[in-house]
Structure 1
Amino acid sequence: MGSDPQYAKYPNLSLAQDIFNLSNPACSQTAQQASLKKLQSAISDHHMAPLYRHLAHPVEGILNSQGEGTPQHTASAGTKVLVNSNLLSGRKVPHKIDLAWDEKLYDSLVEENKKELDTLQKEEDDAAEAAGDTEVQAARGKRAEFWARVGDKDKAVAAYEAVFEKTGILGTKIDLVLAIIRIGLFFGDKQFVKKNVERANALVESGGDWDRRNRLKAYKGLHLLTIRSYNLAAPLLLDSLSTFTSYELCTYSNLVVYSVLAGSLALKRVDFKAKVVDAPEIRAILGEGEDRLSALTGAVSSGPGAGDEEMKDATSVTPGTASTVVNLTTLGTETDSEAPMDFSPLSNLVSSLYNGIYRSFFVALAAVEDNFLSQDRYLYEHRAWFVREMRLRGYQQLLQSYRVVGLSSMANDFGVTVDFLDRDLAKFIAGDRIACTIDRVNGIIETNRPDDKNKQYADVVKQGDALITKLQKYGQAVRLRGSERG
């Protein structure tokens, strides 16, 4: 049996989304104002002097007009930067942010930080004199959480590492590394997150309990999503749906969005049917009427034994209707303040892709880009790539069923012009992503189905040529070194 998770309260990752919203040109003015108020309240209530300086300082702040696109604040001489900062939607802030710099406010926040640090130091000293190592470690853990709360990334990581070095309990070590991962996620440092995800995975494999294994699965899935490894992220995120407990990482509604997007792009049609279309956790949110009720009551199941019921036609789903706006607090999750989310674009995407309603599929894909990809800090960077890959998936799904397809007929199915389809397919054909040729004179698309053995032979030849080239370069390098020794 494992102990309850520790160090899971800070940093608050939803605050990083609010900071992202301020610099996101696709975010509405209303949402930006709401995010600004939340950020100002958090800075004031939690005395976040380091984060306030990092964001709003006239010289070093990443949100100010003079320092636009500054990736991180300047470290003092001799100070090693542990975590890079990438909180904004791009290297240039597209408009002026109203997070003004107030020297008096900053000074008061710094003063509050000093008082709290003095209190923590006194607690640690008292524990060292009158108590044992456990109490001393608890005081040091509070100091680490303090730095994570106020937004000083490097001091927080250093403090967590100091606690880690003095800790012998495996569960606590895993919790500390997960807290360090969240600091990396907060500030958008992918390399730092990757290193610590691998570190946490090694600790879990050495004997971590079930709960921490399950929590790490969500962390790994989200990290893989941020580095565009959807094929690896999809199974992890989808598996996390039924046993999700990592509410410090993201809300359940966000996990549903990430899981459906990753599964829609990465899974083969059979797996897409079992793990996304028929998954009870997803049908409970994306389904309608009886589908949702049966999913919530456990009447449906996913997997190889699931039935092959057809999904409802996407054209019958009207975006914005109350039936697809889900308040996840009613589904038994532990999210007290999670706002209702309109999942209708996502539902339309899944339904139209699976049922082959390609005109609706393109409309739903555009709605998903506007409502999800362009609004989420983890998805924003890869939104154009995701849309392109989903278009490719739609093209592949249609073409694999036919030997010859009329160009105008296919364009009509997708609701695009012949010229657009010609240009779009040409890019994928040139990159060997679709095995077909376009005969524009006759107005047809002819699918090429290469023999598997011929493809394997071509792959062997290609890889063999690359290996021979590397061996030749290696041989030349060895001969040169030998002549130098002579």
Structure 2
Amino acid sequence: MAGEQGLPKIPNLQVAELKFRVQQNPQELEHLKADILKLIEEDDMLPFYQLTCKELNWKEDATLVEKLEAKNKAELEILDKKISDTEANLGESDIRDAYMAKGEYLCKIGDKDACLSLFRTILDKSLALGQKLDVVFYCIRLGLFYMDTDLVERNLDKAKGLVEKGGDWDRRNRLKVYEGVFHMYNRNFESAIDLFLDAVSTFTSTEIMSYDEFVRYTVYMAMVTLPRVEIKSKVIDNDEIQQRLNCSLPDTKQYVTSLYESDYASFFESLFDVESFMKLDRYLYKHYRYYIKEVRIIAYSQILQSYRSVTLQYIADAFNVSVPFIDKELARFIAANRLPCKINKVRGIVETTRPDSKNYQYQQLIKQGDHLLNKIQKLSRVINL
């Protein structure tokens, strides 16, 4: 993909990712601190540096603070002077550009409050639809930078409203990635995969992640949401995804192909890599236990679908684990009604029970009907009052 089509990395989400990794695993501090400080200094990020020192219990470097403060002050003075000059001598377009230049700088250094205040001022001015969307996208990225979910959600709603009024092709596709990331962060994996698959062939949002990262997220979301036949058609047979899997994501390729090809031992090995990645990922760390559990259930369901009964030893050998481990695993998921089978410990086999789909639908209808009646009764009491 052409990274040149992406917007400037303002704010630079990489430094927020590195900071998060240190927060999750303090042992990484020694080899990541230098990288964090380098990125902070490159973008004159004094507000972010001071916040990082406070959150990570770093002692502030007085020399660095003085240096960054001087740079921030000098640049803001230049930008404020440009705003004054354009307001006195030039037209609306130049005035808007001058304000945007200052807003971009405040966003770049991580001054969240000042940046949002200025962007609100800019949005109150006369702007074309595309320019309004660009400002809203800055606010979304700033929200992702600080993981301010309320800020992200409010601006996503604004962006969707603006796009419906006639956003161009590039901004529509960019919004799909932004919205997909937010859904992924909130464990709405079904909505995330729909948006990610729509954006696979048109991805240009390198301001928030690389294309390799985007493909990894797309595969992870697909594995836990799509049926096997759709994983084949939409992921494994997708030329854009395959190109990245073959070139730079061999671990992700093994993860998706091993489950599809029923190579369960390799699949379990891949799960260790997936779990390690998710634990240190800003968007997925909250969900890694849920995610790993769900894909294990998918794998167990897949192997059990082929048999009326199968030995525990066979399943254990397929996954390259011990019989006691697989016995405990299956028992837990059976008890939670997640696997349609039962274990015969005397014979050492697992017997699958084919669910009656019509009876299941009937039970679901009754359950949902009772739920609806309860809501109507509660509503009627409120109306009567």
Note the alpha carbon deviations across 1:63-85, whole angstroms, 9 max, x for none. Answer: 11xxxxxxxxxxxxxxxxxxxxx
**One of 431, 438, 449 as aligned partner of 2:343:** 438
Identity in percent: 39
Shift of 1:453: 1.8
**Is 1:448 aligned to residue 353 of structure 2?**
yes
Q: Which residue of 1 aligns with 2:263?
A: 357
Higher mean displacement: 414-423 or 393-402: 414-423
Q: How does 1:152-171 map to 2 (within 5 A)?
A: 152-171=111-130
Higher helix proportion (structure 1 or 2): 2
SS in 1 for 2:202: coil
Note the alpha carbon deviations across 1:322-377, whole angstroms, 9 max, x for none. Answer: xx6x3xxxxxxxxxxxxxxxx2221211121010011111111112323x323432
Change (3 A) 1:454 1:6: closer
* Aligned 8 A contact 1:7 1:179 in 2: no
TM-score by length of 1: 0.74
TM-score by length of 2: 0.92
* Aligned 8 A contact 1:171 1:209 in 2: yes
Note the alpha carbon deviations across 1:257-304, whole angstroms, 9 max, x for none. Answer: 1111111221111110011111111221323xxxxxxxxxxxxxxxxx
Change (3 A) 1:7 1:443: closer
SS in 2 for 1:242: helix
Aligned residues: 382
Higher mean displacement: 397-406 or 243-252: 397-406
Q: Which residue of 1 aligns with 2:330?
A: 425
CA distance in 2, matches of 1:198, 1:421: 45
Report the AA paired with residue 299 of structure 2. Answer: G
CA distance in 1, matches of 2:374, 2:327: 37
Q: Which residue of 2 aligns with 1:241?
A: 200
* Aligned 8 A contact 2:139 2:151 in 1: no
CA distance in 2, matches of 1:6, 1:269: 33
**Is 1:267 aligned to residue 172 of structure 2?**
no
Q: Which residue of 2 aligns with 1:40?
A: 37
**One of 78, 93, 107 as aligned partner of 1:148:** 107
Root mean square deviation of aligned Cα = 2.2
In structure 1, runs of 5+ residues without a counterpart are: 65-98, 288-323, 327-342, 482-486
Q: How does 1:165-204 map to 2 (within 5 A)?
A: 165-204=124-163
Q: Which residue of 2 aligns with 1:388?
A: 293
* Aligned 8 A contact 2:6 2:206 in 1: no
Q: How does 1:365-380 map to 2 (within 5 A)?
A: 365-370=271-276, 372-380=277-285
Q: How does 1:3-14 map to 2 (within 5 A)?
A: 8-14=8-14
Report the AA paired with residue 12 of structure 1. Answer: N
**Is 1:286 aligned to residue 286 of structure 2?**
no
CA distance in 1, matches of 2:150, 2:333: 30
In structure 2, runs of 5+ residues without a counterpart are: none
Q: Runs of 4 or more off by more than 6 Å in structure 1? A: 4-7
Higher mean displacement: 436-445 or 12-21: 436-445
Shift of 1:45: 3.1
Q: How does 1:18-167 map to 2 (within 5 A)?
A: 18-25=18-25, 29=28, 32-56=29-53, 61-64=54-57, 99-167=58-126
* Aligned 8 A contact 1:260 1:276 in 2: yes
CA distance in 1, matches of 2:365, 2:49: 56
SS in 2 for 1:160: helix
SS in 1 for 2:273: helix
CA distance in 2, matches of 1:402, 1:190: 45
Shift of 1:11: 0.4
SS in 2 for 1:247: coil
The structure whose RCO (Cα within 8 Å, separation 6+) is larger is 2
* Aligned 8 A contact 2:7 2:207 in 1: no
* Aligned 8 A contact 2:180 2:196 in 1: yes
